[in-house]
Structure 1
Amino acid sequence: MKKYAFISILAAACAFVSCEEVSDKMSSDFPSDYTINYGLRQVLQYDPMNINGIDVVDKFDFFSTLSFRIEVHDGKMTHLEFSNGEVPFSPFAFEVPDGVVECEFDTDALPNELRIKGTDHVIAYFQNGEFSIPFQLDSKQLSYKYTFKEIK
């Protein structure tokens, strides 16, 4: 029994030291200020018959004019710019200021939320490495969701 306790303590100590070394290397190699550009991956349309959604991104040319960009300073998301482009409707039930706005990223919420700073206005949800923006238009039977992926 003592043998297993010693091995467990040794393994935990090694794991702790290894994690510390990796995080130190990552922080020195990874820039603290950068910009991430996102492109529209899909626009899902949901209805009672299509609960998994139908991708309609290729059905309308105006979806290609959407843009979404996040600025990171000191390792934190601080500014965002969402442009609706030529899309004739807004996915938001609130007014989004034109241009770059201050934002905050809430990792306590699940999925994580990207909000306009100082408000409860959620711009997008972050999950599985992608941002999504669910929205509703005039029809109560149809709902939609934009999904953005990082553009490299």
Structure 2
Amino acid sequence: MGASGRIRQIFHPYTKWECFKNGMWDDVVGKEAEKILPLAIKFTGNNVIYGESMRKVIYKWFFSCETFLSDKHINRKAWLGHAACSLEHNLPENIVRMAWKKLTDDQRNLANKEAEKYIKEWEKNYLFKKLSTQLDFFDENRNK
């Protein structure tokens, strides 16, 4: 069993989610959608810069990552990709979904590998922090 099997789902109210505050769930349509779609295609199609932004998300968006990356019932790779687009370019997830359909299979596979890498990094960091907190608690109470 991998590290992710030991993480229980964490809940935070949406008012704390950085992705919500940043407009990731806004619905952009019409002329505005047509205007920003090329940026979304270019950004998501470059796995290197896309991956760098995914890494930023796991370190900057504490509440959103705990909420979404601890949830095994969602597509966490998609969420992390949407979050990267929102963080880096304020692109809402509905535009990112449109862009995803325009990518080649190779581009999607490379993007998914980046997402998997950073989900594992978030899990490792989360479990390390959790273990460190438990050890600190143990040390504080051992001498009482």
Which TM-score band applies after superposition, normalised by the shorter structure?
Answer: under 0.3
Q: Which TM-score applies when normalising by structure 2?
A: 0.25
Q: Which TM-score applies when normalising by structure 1?
A: 0.24
Question: Which of the two has greater helix per residue?
Answer: 2
Greater gyration radius: 1
Question: Which of the two has greater strand per residue?
Answer: 1
